[in-house]
Amino acid sequence: MTVMQHTTLGLLGGGQLGRMFSAAARTMGYDVIVLDPDPASPAAHFATRHLCAAFEDSAALETLAQSCAAITTEFENVSAEALEQLATHCPVRPSAYAVAIAQDRVREKTFFRDHGFPVGPFVIARHPREFEQVLRDVKFPAIIKTARFGYDGKGQVRVQSILEAMQAVESQPALLPAVIETLVPLRLEISVLLARSANGQTTLWPVAENRHQHGILDLTIAPARIREELAARACKIATDIADHLEYVGILAVEFFVTGIDTLLVNEIAPRPHNSGHYTLDACVTSQFEQQVRTLCGLPLGSTELLRPAAMVNLLGDLWEQGTPPWEVIFQEPDAKLHLYGKQAPRPGRKMGHFTVLGNSAHEALEKALRLRSALGMPD
């Protein structure tokens, strides 16, 4: 089924990912209805219509169902039941099944393990009594990750011993149910971003290399500075995950690289991903245009990298002394600034990003680090 232009697409979630999806969809000739409870939703600036209501609001879901030719989501923490309900009226991509796995770390880790994908050592605890029992099988140091609603380092606690783990759950009972992972000797973090159509066609962007600060993505380099064999192996695993999920849409697969190029799957994101923002400026087809294409049954666009790139996240901390000196970025002819239209900068809140192009990944990284420093961002 192909959804033609001059029809309406639905979007659950109105943050920056939805903003960039809406901009791409409107440019391609579609109208967009955004459902988001935030009156100042960033995506609403570009959408045709904003339904300011809760994601479970029955009247709003009915409006989407009756008005839209196809529906997608910009984040994974939406009700799988709501997606199933909407799917009885029109295509919903990705499926409720795929979203339900990605939004629950217990189901996600179990899916990886049961299908033979490489993961680090982990145990699962659903309630306090079980938590105390499974800790005997954990090698420390470890990290406790709540099963639901954890992102950007939230809902995660690092612990050095059984005692620390017990104290963490006693003080934060909402951590359970949880996955407890042994910390692995991390050498590098990479991500694979792919698009998969309803007929199983898959395209992949270059593997990206990621750096985090305090659990939040800080900087992405594309292409990743890794061996071709390692990149190919990561792409194969990501493609196999998408195939097992019968996935339709944009999927990001995050990996830890340990030892001598050992790959461990960390998590998946059933949507465009922060590490893929460089595709807006550096690739023939961005992840957001490709999201529209997969949603509407259009042929997939080329994911060719036109020039190496480095992307830097801009968090609310940068606004502590007032509006940042954006002229620093505008003075660099190979840099592009993207602001998300959020009204209230807060520490740790993603307010925008900038991308720098170069003749090599190393050159793009050097330019990005120079601009980062000129903006007053900490090392």
Task: Tell me the per-residue pLDDT of 64-103, one tens digit each, with 9 for 90 and over.
Answer: 999 999 999 998 888 889 999 999 999 999 999 999 999 9
Same domain assignment for residues 275 and 191: yes
Phi/psi zone of residue 178: left (φ > 0), alpha (ψ -120 to 50 degrees), beta?
beta
SS3 133: helix
Q: The domain spanning residue 331 has which CATH number?
A: 3.30.470.20
Q: Does residue 19 form part of some domain?
A: yes
**Residue 194 and residue 286 share a domain:** yes
The verdict on 230 and 340 lying in the same domain is yes
Residue 347 belongs to a domain:
yes
pLDDT tens digits along 10-28:
999 999 999 999 999 999 9
Percent of the chain at pLDDT exceeding 90: 92
Same domain? 269 vs 306: yes
Q: Is residue 204 located within the same domain as residue 246?
A: yes
| Predicted confidence (pLDDT) at residue 215 exceeds the cutoff of 90 | no
Q: pLDDT band at residue 358, thresholds of 50, 70 and 90?
A: very high
Query: 33 forms bridges with which residues in the sheet?
Result: 10, 49
Average pLDDT over residues 276-296: 98
Read off the pLDDT of residues 218-252 as tens digits, 9 standing for 90 and up. Answer: 999 999 999 999 999 999 999 999 999 999 999 99
* Residues 359, 226 within the same domain: yes
Answer positive or negative: Cα dihedral of 143, 146, 147, 152: negative
Question: Mean pLDDT, to the nearest integer, of 157-185?
Answer: 94
> Domain ends where: 72, 92, 112?
92
Model pLDDT, residue 134: 95
pLDDT class for 214, splitting at 50, 70, 90?
confident
C-alpha to C-alpha distance for 379 and 81, rounded to whole angstroms? 43
Do the beta carbons of residue 64 and residue 47 sit within 8 Å? no
Mean pLDDT across 201-222: 96
Close Cβ partners of 133 (under 8 Å, ≥ 6 residues apart): none
Confidence of residue 4 (pLDDT cuts 50, 70, 90): low
| Cβ atoms of 47 and 22 closer than 8 Å | yes
Mean pLDDT computed over 339-350: 95
Give 298's DSSP letter.
P
Residue with tokens 């550096």: 282
Rounded to whole angstroms, the Cα distance separating 191 from 222 reads 10
Q: Could you tell me if residue 104 is inside a domain?
A: no
Give yes or no: residues 201 and 166 share one domain. no
| β-sheet bridge partners, residue 352 | 314, 339
Q: What is the CATH number for 75? A: 3.40.50.20
Q: Which residue has the higher pLDDT, 153 or 157?
A: 157
Same structural domain for residues 198 and 326? Answer: yes
Is a pLDDT exceeding 80 seen at residue 6? no
C-beta separation of 11 from 32 below 8 A: yes
Same domain, residue pair 302 and 363:
yes
Query: 86 with 138, same domain?
Result: no
Given a cut of 90, whether residue 148 has pLDDT beyond it is: no
**pLDDT value of residue 149:** 74
Please give the pLDDT value at position 94: 97
Same domain, 37 and 76: yes
Residue-level pLDDT at 135: 93
| Structure confidence at residue 82 (pLDDT) | 92
Assigned domain for 141 exists: yes
Total domain count, the chain? 3
The residue behind tokens 């995660």 is 156
Q: What CATH number has the domain bearing residue 136?
A: 3.30.1490.20
245-to-63, 95, 101, 111 alpha-carbon distances in Å: 28, 9, 9, 10
97 assigned to some structural domain: no
What's the confidence (pLDDT) of residue 265? 98
One-character DSSP codes across 318-338: GGTTSS--THHHHTSTTEEEE
In a domain, 107, yes or no: no
Report the pLDDT value the prediction gives residue 30, as an integer from 0 to 100. 96
Does residue 218 sit in the same domain as residue 131? Answer: no
Mean of per-residue pLDDT scores for the chain: 95
Within-domain flag for 290:
yes
Largest CA distance in the chain: 60
pTM over 0.85: yes
Instruction: Please give the single-letter amino acid code of residue 342.
Output: K
What's the mean pLDDT in 306-323? 96
pLDDT at 193 over 90: yes
The DSSP code sequence of 7-27 is SEEEEE--SHHHHHHHHHHHH
Secondary structure class of 48 (helix, strand, coil): coil
Q: Read off the pLDDT band of 152 (50, 70, 90).
A: low
Report which of 315, 310, 329, 328 is spatially closest to residue 368, judged by C-alpha positions: 310
| CA gap 318, 316 in Å, rounded | 5
Q: How far are the Cα atoms of 125, 190, 330 from residue 184, in angstroms, in the given order?
A: 20, 15, 40
- How many Å is the Cα radius of gyration of the chain? 20
Looking at residue 154, what is its pLDDT?
74
Domain range for 168: 121-182
pLDDT of 372 strictly over 90? yes
Cis ω before 177 (30° cut-off from 0):
yes
- Does residue 135 form part of some domain? yes
Q: Which of 153, 182, 211 is the last residue of a domain?
A: 182
